[in-house]
Chain A
Amino acid sequence: MRYLTDRKRAMGKGSAHSGTEHHWYMTVSAVGLAFMVPTWIYIFGSALGGPQEEVLATFARPFPAILTALVIFIGMRHFAKGATMMIEDYAKGSARRALVILTISLSYAITATGLFALARIAL
């Protein structure tokens, strides 16, 4: 037995069935990334092209390591949701489901790889 009426369950959820959850996540992650990305670009750009010892020394320091971890994690969640929205706009049926699953899996794989590399360098 459902304790909520149909109307109550639908209230505030709209045609997306998840309310403004997606939009709000994108807003929060966008603001977070907006604060982090400029500094991160500088750190990454400065490390790129250097010898391995310098790269390891950069990402072993707490600030670059933590910032890179945050940019990868939040950036990939932001990407997964944004790319899902694009796929939902242009594909339908099984192709849509397959592409959405692929996108989300790829995002998590990149996140895990990045965090693993950082852990190995920094710890």
Chain B
Amino acid sequence: MAEAKRVTRPLSPHLQIYRPQLTSITSILSRLTGNGLIVGTMLAVWWLLAAATSPEYFAVANAVATSWFGDLVFTGSLWAVWYHYLAGLRHLYFDAGKGLDIPTAEKLGWACIIGSVVLTILTIILVQ
């Protein structure tokens, strides 16, 4: 076979020339929430490790996890996980070749945004 030629391929997506719209914003948010969840995951796993280690270590980790910073991270992560959850289900639905027409795709986008906020509030009430 011939030697592979080096091709400079464009990087995706072209954010600079892309007009923001609901479908693109909800797609970007899906990626942001998924990757951002690493912060909450690290805090949660650290807190669990501290609980497994000693009362003194748990006191430190628990103070951070239940501080305003911990509340901010976990509340943000809760919204992020619900958003990523709904956007992920939408992704599976799109993968099945359904809901790809613009009116349906936009309705699904709003469902992700509104649904994630509603589920976040419901969860906070439920685990109080």
- Interface residues, chain A, with chain B CB atoms under 8 Å away: 6, 27, 30-31, 33-34, 37-38, 41-42, 44-46, 48-49, 52, 55-56, 59, 68, 72, 75-76, 79, 82-83, 86, 89-90, 92, 106, 110, 113-114, 116-118, 120-121
Contact present for A46 and B127 (CB under 8 Å): yes
State whether A37 and B38 are in contact (beta carbons under 8 Å apart), knowing that A31-B92, A56-B51 are contacts in the complex.
no
- How many chain B residues touch the partner (CB < 8 A)? 37
Give Cα distance in the complex from A83 to B41, angstroms.
Answer: 14
Give Cα distance in the complex from A45 to B45, angstroms.
Answer: 13
Contact present for A52 and B49 (CB under 8 Å): no
Can you list 6 pairs linking A and B with CB atoms under 8 Å apart?
A: A6-B1, A38-B85, A79-B41, A106-B38, A114-B48, A117-B48
Shortest C-beta distance, B86 to chain A (Å), equals 10
Contacts of A117 in B (CB 8 A): 45, 48-49, 51-53
Contacts of A30 in B (CB 8 A): 88, 91-92
What 8 A-B pairs are tightest by C-beta distance, nearest first? A45-B127, A120-B52, A117-B52, A117-B49, A117-B48, A114-B45, A52-B58, A55-B51
**Interface secondary structure of A, over-half rule:** helix
Give Cα distance in the complex from A118 to B48, angstroms.
Answer: 8
Contact present for B81 and A41 (CB under 8 Å): yes
Q: How many A-B residue pairs have CB under 8 A?
A: 92
Instruction: Name the residue of chain A whose CB is nearest to the CB of B65.
Output: A48
Contact present for B13 and A45 (CB under 8 Å): no
Name which of B41, B42, B45, B53 has the most chain A CB atoms within 10 A of its CB: B45
Give Cα distance in the complex from A114 to B52, angstroms.
Answer: 10
State whether A79 and B34 are in contact (beta carbons under 8 Å apart), knowing that A52-B62, A90-B11 are contacts in the complex.
yes
